[in-house]
Amino acid sequence: MDSMVEVFECGLDAGGDLLSIESTGGKKISDNALMSCNTKRLIFALSVLGVRDMKKL
């Protein structure tokens, strides 16, 4: 977390006016679900695992 905040602060100091963060929570499962056309697994990865990951962030 400290490293992430430091990177954001450096971006602001460099003149950045838009900061964003990307979560990869559930990505491995969602990629596999897409390849195997598994809708239930895809929904789980995006709606449960992704949300848990973003909550941490």
pTM score, whole prediction: 0.57
List the domain boundaries for the chain.
23-57
What pLDDT, in 10s, does the model give residues 1-46? 899 889 989 999 999 988 887 777 788 899 999 999 999 999 999 8
Q: What secondary structure letter does DSSP report for 30?
A: H
Asked if residue 57 lies in contact with residue 45, where contact means CB atoms within 8 angstroms, the answer is no
Q: Which residues contact 32 (CB under 8 A, 6 or more apart)?
A: 38, 41
| Helix, coil or strand: residue 26 | coil
